[in-house]
Amino acid sequence: MTTIADFTSQYGLVQKIDAFGFMEYLKANPDAPRKHGKIVLVTADTPLKASRGEGKTTTTIALIDALRARGIDATAVLRQPSMGITAAGSKGGASGGGKASLTHPELIDWGLCGEMAAIAAAQNLLVSFAEKAIDEGRIDTILVPRVSEVPSRSLRSITVDAGKNNVAERVVLTPTCELMQIVVLSRSMDEIGDRVAKMIAGTKDGKPVTFGEFVDLWRITDMLADAVKPALTETVNGSPVYVHGGPFANVSIGIPTLVSVEMACALHDVVIVEAGYGTDAGAQKWLDIACREYGAQWPSAAIVVTRASTWRDDPDLAWRYPFHVDRLEKLDIPAFPLVNLWDGEDDQIPELRETAERLEFREPIIGNLYRDGGDGLASQLDAFVDVLTNSSMPPAQHSHKGMPLIENVKWVAENAYGVPNDRVLFKDGFLDSVGAANTLCSEAGISLDDLALVAVKSPATMTDNDRAPQDERTVTLKKVEVHAGAGLAQVNLTTSLTTPMPKIV
Amino acid sequence: MTTIADFTSQYGLVQKIDAFGFMEYLKANPDAPRKHGKIVLVTADTPLKASRGEGKTTTTIALIDALRARGIDATAVLRQPSMGITAAGSKGGASGGGKASLTHPELIDWGLCGEMAAIAAAQNLLVSFAEKAIDEGRIDTILVPRVSEVPSRSLRSITVDAGKNNVAERVVLTPTCELMQIVVLSRSMDEIGDRVAKMIAGTKDGKPVTFGEFVDLWRITDMLADAVKPALTETVNGSPVYVHGGPFANVSIGIPTLVSVEMACALHDVVIVEAGYGTDAGAQKWLDIACREYGAQWPSAAIVVTRASTWRDDPDLAWRYPFHVDRLEKLDIPAFPLVNLWDGEDDQIPELRETAERLEFREPIIGNLYRDGGDGLASQLDAFVDVLTNSSMPPAQHSHKGMPLIENVKWVAENAYGVPNDRVLFKDGFLDSVGAANTLCSEAGISLDDLALVAVKSPATMTDNDRAPQDERTVTLKKVEVHAGAGLAQVNLTTSLTTPMPKIV
């Protein structure tokens, strides 16, 4: 009998799975055994600082260990952290901590057998071919940025061929590039190739020119074929964890690949999808892009992680956590608060429970997950397990395809950030940018309003100033960028960096 | 019993070996069984064009298949081709062809589980830290280039932080960077760390500042630890082949890693080291850098590959092949000519043998290796096998350590390129460059003259004009660059590109 093992290969201390092949096998063999796992989003409050995590990965790992201890076949799909950020930073990677850790965090943190690197090399090769196309007179402007796997703010704006033609270019972090988005959203290598062919390389006399017009697609797909596969690793307690896709849901989509989540659902009963930074970033992208526009499964429940201090100690920002919980509940996603305690905070539990009750939350799950791992959670999961066990599979949600882009952004501002229509502001030049994007799309034979919307923003804020009173909060729209291959329209808003390229700290 | 299998892990379709660990084990266990393999260089005539190979890899693969068919435990150590060049070019990778191929060329060609990418990310992270050091006032000039895995000539000269501080920077191909050189020359991860610490990041008020003064070395060594290991694959006939290190022996060292060759010598009786482009590039680097300065084993024999046409049809350049063969013989390295025939050239064999006799070569080995693989060679290897079987292990050769840099370059020009002292010319600014390098080194506490010399040149020429009459050929020295971590002084000469970054063709 064919099983997932036939699609699995060892790569050092992790395994990699030919997920495209496995899903194709299931499709071709409708009677082959499979599960129909339900999806749980683990998301969080909007962070006070991007660099200070509440412990979403730690929570995710503790949660699957706890569910498995209760006899439930649970797994998680994590995104690979950015190696450059991990190496440059002080806090280590994104593979949990303490008793809620992966067995081999070092392999997730340090390159994962070349997956992100293959995407980086392929995207940079596309830029090289775009330059060649300029030399050959096929295009006169390049619209795709180079990428870097390590942060370096000086790369946000560069001039290449310096001293001669002095061409202005941009460099963005690898996980935020269009090719990464294509990898996240595609369900076969052929689809990756087709989407690369539709990427707009640049313009010639103002008209869009796609890569399909001048690049042999094997050059790109061959680079990706071996490296771009979900990795399988496990927690220190032996629970399976898949890793595929990249971070930065604030400035890109930043969710696990659809194929890795769908494969996990075919293999397990409960699949945790980690969606950060906050609910306004990763969860918004999972719901409004992956589910509404790309056919991913609507979550059956959510866990909204926070820290004891974040929840209480900053009154100006205290509105955000209940706002996120309410939003998920309104979308028919049972949202369970989870407070990840740090050392010395155990005595705050009664007060945290009182606050939760006052805010009319579900009974919160509270524990020091670094110290206790899943052991601290298992006994608190009755209501959560009940929801997962007794709910029916959630229905598909309506798509926004065809909704005018600006209306779509206003819908997100109202629903995901709590800012009504009349306080969505346009920065000078924004409408010009929308007009240019509309023209570019129609000349490429697509409609801007058919593209899924990617809100590009700071991870630490939803509005121009989250500390302002509720009736004064605004969202300012800055510019639009078309990713025709990925099928996305990116809109920069509030305090977003136009080019997400952090400085080393 | 501990064996190499204990240090070997599967990575997809190839295996990777913890060569550092295995060599450490052998050192700690002097009675553990091991072989003392002899080294054979497979090198070639200076190519007419860098993009047109004579078939060194094809020859290497056919040769080990032929030797193994004769009962000799032979292997080869290849360098990983540059993925970007492979993807951008038209000729495929560097993994042989036809009956002389590797089982899984695609894995060697497309990233090899992230090895080159890890080196690229680590070198680029060093540049990011150098930028941070500028912000912090530790340095005021950066001396290390960024790297790219894909070619793009516009990157040769870039301005970063464009529009603000406008800092001039360079980008070089990953395989040519100092960190790659360190990986090639180091015999432990600790040595890699020590050498990174000695790399000169830049200068402050003209004085050198090393990375060891401000970068935590774990950031670099962690990035390399899993990815940077020799890969084990095999030929279509099942002969073992190791892959480790990168290309471009014309502009860098471009030889396989020392640890991979030494591991292969401990495991096999004959180890083929591929050293290209021509004898003046890879072989010169193996002999004069790896052997003389870094304790690698002197070759017991060489195979000098050429094509039937190259050998005869360009009278102006016909001096080069016999020059290379003679040079190797004078160094006590028995040099066997090998002519790699293309389709339709079989009838030229008698004429080729006559030419070889007239030139007083050893009996040439002639075959169509793409078509026939090792089968076409086995019966022609008697003299070659006799040399390998009956020679004693070659002695260590004298080091040039302490020889003044210019004298050292002149020695290479005379011995490896056939140009005497008085026709080694200095371009304007060269002596200033030597003076600056001398000062930089002495301020860093090292001597420029103790560094091993890396000649940086075009792959297709040894002199300013190889077509000139012998008594008119010159070599022009352009500039010096110090790689204190790798222990190398690079001297650019003749028609070298200062920044090796090809345009996509």
Domains and CATH numbers, chain B: 31-114+227-390 (3.40.50.300), 115-215 (3.30.1510.10), 405-493 (3.10.410.10)
Q: Is B228 on the interface with A (CB under 8 A)?
A: no
In angstroms, rounded to a whole number, what is the distance separating the alpha carbons of residues A477 and A426? 5
CB atoms within 10 A of CB B415: 15
Q: Given A84, A118, A159, which is nearest B159 (Cβ)?
A: A159
User: Which of A433-437, B185-189, B288-292, B460-464 has the least mean pLDDT?
Assistant: B460-464
User: Which of A9-13, A163-167, A294-298, B229-233 has the least mean pLDDT?
Assistant: A163-167
Work out the percent of chain B whose per-residue pLDDT is above 70. Answer: 96
First and final CA of chain A: distance in angstroms?
52
Cα dist from B51 to B147, B281, B282, B459, whole Å: 21, 15, 16, 10
Q: Of B20, B15, B226, whose CA–CA distance to A108 is shortest?
A: B226
Which pLDDT score, from 0 to 100, does residue A286 have? Answer: 98
Q: What is the DSSP letter of B1?
A: -
pLDDT mean over B241-266: 94
Cβ–Cβ under 8 Å, residues B105 and A222: no
Cα dist from A188 to A198, A208, A221, B236, B249, whole Å: 16, 26, 11, 29, 39
Cβ-defined contact of B154 to A168 (cutoff 8 Å): no
What's the number of CA atoms in the CB half-sphere (13 Å) around residue A161?
16
Cβ–Cβ under 8 Å, residues B133 and B487: no
**Closest A-chain CA to B117:** A117
Cβ-defined contact of A150 to B113 (cutoff 8 Å): no
Q: Is A314 on the interface with B (CB under 8 A)?
A: no
Cβ–Cβ under 8 Å, residues B273 and B255: yes
Cβ-defined contact of A162 to B157 (cutoff 8 Å): yes
Burial of residue B30, with CB atoms counted within 10 A of its CB: 0-12 exposed, 13-18 middle, 19 or more buried: exposed
ipTM confidence: 0.91
Tokens 């060489």: give the residue.
B302
Cβ-defined contact of B504 to A131 (cutoff 8 Å): yes
Q: Tens digit of pLDDT for each residue in B442-472?
A: 999 999 999 999 999 988 899 999 999 999 9
Please give the biggest Cα pair distance in chain B: 70
CB atoms within 10 A of CB A439: 14
For the cut 70, the answer to whether the pLDDT of residue A50 exceeds it is: no
**Closest A-chain CA to B226:** A107
Which pLDDT score, from 0 to 100, does residue B40 have? Answer: 98
The CA R_g of chain B, rounded to the nearest whole Å, is: 22
Q: Of A298, A324, A242, whose CA–CA distance to A78 is shortest?
A: A242
In angstroms, rounded to a whole number, what is the distance separating the alpha carbons of residues B273 and B243? 10
For the cut 80, the answer to whether the pLDDT of residue A494 exceeds it is: no
Question: A148: which chain B residues are within 8 Å (Cβ-Cβ)?
Answer: 124
Q: What is the DSSP letter of B227?
A: T
Q: Is A154 on the interface with B (CB under 8 A)?
A: yes
For the cut 60, the answer to whether the pLDDT of residue B108 exceeds it is: yes
In angstroms, rounded to a whole number, what is the distance separating the alpha carbons of residues B478 and B498? 9
> What sign results for the dihedral spanned by CA atoms A244, A246, A250, A253?
negative
Choice between B448 and A500, residue whose per-residue pLDDT is larger: B448
Q: What is the mean pLDDT of chain A?
A: 92
CB atoms within 10 A of CB A253: 28
Adjacency order of strands within the sheet including B207-210? B141-142, B200-204, B207-210
Q: How many CB pairs under 8 A join A and B?
A: 203
For the cut 80, the answer to whether the pLDDT of residue A19 exceeds it is: yes
Confidence of residue B92 (pLDDT cuts 50, 70, 90): low
Q: Tens digit of pLDDT for each residue in A375-407?
A: 989 999 999 999 999 999 999 999 999 999 999
In angstroms, rounded to a whole number, what is the distance separating the alpha carbons of residues B274 and B258? 13
Chain B closest CA to A457's CA: distance in Å? Answer: 22
Substitution target in A108, A211, A226, A499 with the highest count of B β-carbons within 10 Å is: A226
Q: Which amino acid is at A407?
A: E
Tokens of A9: 């290969």
Q: Tens digit of pLDDT for each residue in B44-69?
A: 999 876 555 678 889 999 999 999 99
Beta pairing partners, B458: none
In angstroms, rounded to a whole number, what is the distance separating the alpha carbons of residues A327 and B164? 42
Confidence of residue B107 (pLDDT cuts 50, 70, 90): confident
pLDDT mean over A76-88: 85
Which pLDDT score, from 0 to 100, does residue B50 have? Answer: 52
Confidence of residue B497 (pLDDT cuts 50, 70, 90): low
Length of chain B (residues): 505
Q: Kindly report the backbone phi and psi dihedral angles of residue B210, in degrees, each rounded to the nearest multiple of 5, phi listed first.
A: -95, 160
Tokens 């819908």: give the residue.
A411
